[in-house]
């Protein structure tokens, strides 16, 4: 959401952080035995974490909000006070969370500061609005969630209250309207309604089970990716779901990425791990035989399944899962080939985005920070050269991009494609990662035009369509479940008026199936109106109702999704029309 000129991001963060203080004050007024912890401003709002002695529910949010409005009238400022360690401990002697923060800040040499507003005092480093009773008017509490203290599952589970705040009622209303739209487009709800996927406790959290209709969409997306990758010269491969410990020690995933990997499996011939990344397997394929400069670039692609050991509390539908299928590929090339290969990857991305109707995106060049060399491979020349190459590609293609320091991977700079979804959420969809470290870790090399072994192999990691899981969640929200014809699990619904029409409907369906049109016959013992409503609710693109009249006619009467007028069309023309939409990805 755009921010008004009056409220740039810094001011908006200050407003929201001030609202978090107000929230804490209201909670402590209502439930004095509660322990308050921290309350930062976040993207689109704020939260505060509490340890309640008695559980509260979302039904209590209006009560808290009313108390906030009552208190704000007495808040004319945030008064700052510096305190020493002893006084800070005295004030919060019965709040172990604040005491922990006080000890931490003190050991780091930070000044301990309190901020007073009305009768409320909080340990805080600052960042508030100057006139709370005049500026803090337009806020709303949104939801409750559980949150471990300091994000550690070994700590106490706290209650997190989320809210938002703006400088005007108009901005607040716009945001709340977006939240309502987000609820309608929630991929979890639509996924359940349309029978696309589900999660089962016997299988485990974060492990999606794809139902037939969801699998159709997923397969169509993968077929599209394979089609384009074939055109761009990729070779498809398939690698195991696990590998020996030695592979991940070589790649560096162990020990640095171990917390995100599933625990080791000790077998009779060694220790194995489920793979969290495809790249180590692909590097092994590259080095499985001698390579010549004439072979380069080599492009290896795989929709490989990987596994991430995500905390159960962080899982969120398909957006964050433990099992994910990645639209992955690795390009092995010489330094002089990097620029051209990155251009091709970007072109491929843009072609795919166009097919899906995705427009609201921009690029982010994530660079290293030479002041934080402990985070990055110490190869300054490679860093600067590679960053310059990526920058030139973005500039020459006239793409909107920003540059961000200290966000690269440890092995090279990257380009992220950032999207703002239809519900206003920003997320990274695609990544183009340049890697100049794999050559050393895996001893990658090729024979150059002088007949000498050359280890200057650069690897481009790329995933235009992210993972099936994240991309499906994004598309469900993007289309609001109204799938284009080529992706629709059921493209044509045939509705039988009565029993005497069943055979004709089945014969018609078989004709459609032979042309690879996905069709479903509804011959249930229900009213025609009810069947039409069901098909319309399921957002099926085309509905055919077959009765006596339709059986005798040479034309089909087709209900087109989103149109009131029936389309009269001959059967062959209709089949050709649907197939053209499919072929054109409409």
Residue 575 covered by a domain: yes
For residue 297 the two structure tokens come to 């670039």
Token pair 């369906």 is found at: 509
Of 381, 346, 317, nearest to 186 (Cα)? 317
Residue 486 covered by a domain: no
H/E stretch holding 251 reads: helix 245-251
Residue 229 covered by a domain: yes
> C-alpha distances in angstroms, 477 versus 186, 187, 195, 473, 480?
6, 6, 15, 6, 5
Of 155, 153, 171, nearest to 12 (Cα)? 171
Examine the pLDDT at 3 and tell me if it is beyond 70.
Answer: no
Residues 171 and 64 in one domain: yes
Average pLDDT of the residues in 424-429: 82
CATH of the domain at 123: 3.30.980.10
Query: What is the pLDDT at residue 377?
Result: 81
Of 413, 447, 479, the last residue of a domain is 479
Segments forming the whole domain that contains residue 541:
492-583
Residues 209 and 348 in one domain: yes
Mind listing the pLDDT tens digit for each residue in 66-85? 999 999 999 999 999 999 99
Residues 297 and 159 in one domain: no
The Cα 88–Cα 158 span in angstroms is 23
Residues 305 and 446 in one domain: yes
Query: What is the pLDDT at residue 395?
Result: 94
The answer to whether residues 106 and 112 touch, using CB atoms and an 8 Å cutoff, is yes
Query: What is the pLDDT at residue 379?
Result: 86
Number of C-beta neighbours around residue 224 at 10 A? 17
The Cα 397–Cα 394 span in angstroms is 5
Residue 2 covered by a domain: no
Please state, rounded to an integer, the average pLDDT across all residues of the chain. 93
Of 479, 509, 535, the last residue of a domain is 479
Average pLDDT of the residues in 44-56: 94
Average pLDDT of the residues in 396-409: 89
Residue 190 covered by a domain: no
Query: What is the pLDDT at residue 231?
Result: 97
Please state whether the predicted TM-score (pTM) of the whole model is above 0.85: no
The Cα 350–Cα 355 span in angstroms is 9
DSSP state letter for 541? S
Residues 381 and 247 in one domain: no
Q: Across the strands, what pairs with 242? A: 274
Of 307, 245, 300, nearest to 270 (Cα)? 245
CATH of the domain at 511: 3.40.50.800
How is the chain split among helix, strand and coil, in percent rounded to 5? 40, 25, 35
The number of domains in the chain is: 4
Number of C-beta neighbours around residue 409 at 10 A? 18
Residues 235 and 250 in one domain: no
Residues 444 and 566 in one domain: no
The answer to whether residues 92 and 106 touch, using CB atoms and an 8 Å cutoff, is no
Examine the pLDDT at 2 and tell me if it is beyond 60.
Answer: no
Examine the pLDDT at 6 and tell me if it is beyond 50.
Answer: no
H/E stretch holding 343 reads: helix 338-356
> C-alpha distances in angstroms, 297 versus 293, 341, 393, 442, 445?
8, 8, 18, 17, 12
Residue 484 covered by a domain: no
The Cα 480–Cα 193 span in angstroms is 12
Residues 291 and 254 in one domain: no
Query: What is the pLDDT at residue 255?
Result: 85
For residue 158 the two structure tokens come to 């706290």
The Cα 351–Cα 354 span in angstroms is 5
Residues 254 and 106 in one domain: no
| SS3 assignment, position 390 | helix
Residues 216 and 116 in one domain: no
Q: How confident is the model at residue 4 (pLDDT cuts 50, 70, 90)?
A: very low
Number of C-beta neighbours around residue 582 at 10 A? 20
Residues 114 and 155 in one domain: yes
Residue 272 covered by a domain: yes
Mind listing the pLDDT tens digit for each residue in 234-255? 999 999 999 999 999 999 889 8
Token pair 């992210």 is found at: 466
Query: What is the pLDDT at residue 5?
Result: 39
For residue 204 the two structure tokens come to 């485990």
Residues 427 and 411 in one domain: yes
Task: Report the DSSP pairing between strands 323-333 and 401-404.
Answer: unpaired
Query: What is the pLDDT at residue 7?
Result: 42
The Cα 208–Cα 324 span in angstroms is 9
Residue 306 covered by a domain: yes
Mind listing the pLDDT tens digit for each residue in 456-485? 999 999 999 999 999 999 999 999 999 999
């Amino acid at each position: 959401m755009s921010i008004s000129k009056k409220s740039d991001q810094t001011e908006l963060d200050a407003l929201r952080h001030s609202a978090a203080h107000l929230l804490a004050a209201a909670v402590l007024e209502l439930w004095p035995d509660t322990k308050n912890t921290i309350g930062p401003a976040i993207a689109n709002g704020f939260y505060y974490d509490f340890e309640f002695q008695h559980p509260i529910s979302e039904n209590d949010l209006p009560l808290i909000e009313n108390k906030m409005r009552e208190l704000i009238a007495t808040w004319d400022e945030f008064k700052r006070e510096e305190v020493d360690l002893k006084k800070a401990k005295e004030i919060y002697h019965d709040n172990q969370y604040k005491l922990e923060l006080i000890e931490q800040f003190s050991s780091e040499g930070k000044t301990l500061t309190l901020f007073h507003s009305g009768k409320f005092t909080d340990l805080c480093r600052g960042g508030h609005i100057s006139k709370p009773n005049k500026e803090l008017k337009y806020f709303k509490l949104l939801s409750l969630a559980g949150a471990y203290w300091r994000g550690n599952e070994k700590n106490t589970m706290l209650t997190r209250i989320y809210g938002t705040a703006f400088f005007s009622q108009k901005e607040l209303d716009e945001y709340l309207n977006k939240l309502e739209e987000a609820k309608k487009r929630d991929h979890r709800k639509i996924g359940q309604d349309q029978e696309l996927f589900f999660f089962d406790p016997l299988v485990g959290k974060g492990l999606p089970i794809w139902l037939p209709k969801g699998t159709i969409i997923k397969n169509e997306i993968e077929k599209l990716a394979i089609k384009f990758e074939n055109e761009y010269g990729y070779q498809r491969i398939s690698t195991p779901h696990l590998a020996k410990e030695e592979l991940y020690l070589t790649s560096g995933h162990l020990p640095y990425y171990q917390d995100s990997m599933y625990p080791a499996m000790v077998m009779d011939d060694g220790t194995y791990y489920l793979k969290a990344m495809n790249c180590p397997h692909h590097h092994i394929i590259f080095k499985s035989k001698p390579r010549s400069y004439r072979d380069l670039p080599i492009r290896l692609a795989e929709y490989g399944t990987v596994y991430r050991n995500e905390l159960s509390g962080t899982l969120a539908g398909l957006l964050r899962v433990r099992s994910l299928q990645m639209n992955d590929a690795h390009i092995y090339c010489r330094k002089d080939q990097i620029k051209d290969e990155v251009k091709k990857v970007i072109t491929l991305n843009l072609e795919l985005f166009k097919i899906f109707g995705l427009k609201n995106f921009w690029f982010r060049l994530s660079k290293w920070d030479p002041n934080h060399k402990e985070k990055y491979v110490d190869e300054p020349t490679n860093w600067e050269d590679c960053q310059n190459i990526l920058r030139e590609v973005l500039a020459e293609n006239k793409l909107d991009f920003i540059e961000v320091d200290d966000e690269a991977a440890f092995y090279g700079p990257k380009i992220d494609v950032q999207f703002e979804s239809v519900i206003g959420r920003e997320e990274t969809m695609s990544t183009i990662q340049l890697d100049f470290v794999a050559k050393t870790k895996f001893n990658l090399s090729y024979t150059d035009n002088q007949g000498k072994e050359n280890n200057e192999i650069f690897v481009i990691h790329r995933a235009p369509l992210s993972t099936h899981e994240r991309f499906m969640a994004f598309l469900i929200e993007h289309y609001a479940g109204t799938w284009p014809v080529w992706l629709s699990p059921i493209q044509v619904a045939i509705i039988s008026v009565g029993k005497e029409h069943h055979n004709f409907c089945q014969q018609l369906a078989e004709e459609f199936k032979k042309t690879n049109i996905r069709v479903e016959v509804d011959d249930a013992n229900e009213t025609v109106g009810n069947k039409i409503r069901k098909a319309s609710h399921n957002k099926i693109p085309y509905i055919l109702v077959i009765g006596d009249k339709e059986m005798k006619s040479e034309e089909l009467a087709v209900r087109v999704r989103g149109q009131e007028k029936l389309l009269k069309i001959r059967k062959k023309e209709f089949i050709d029309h649907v197939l053209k939409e499919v072929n054109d990805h409409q």
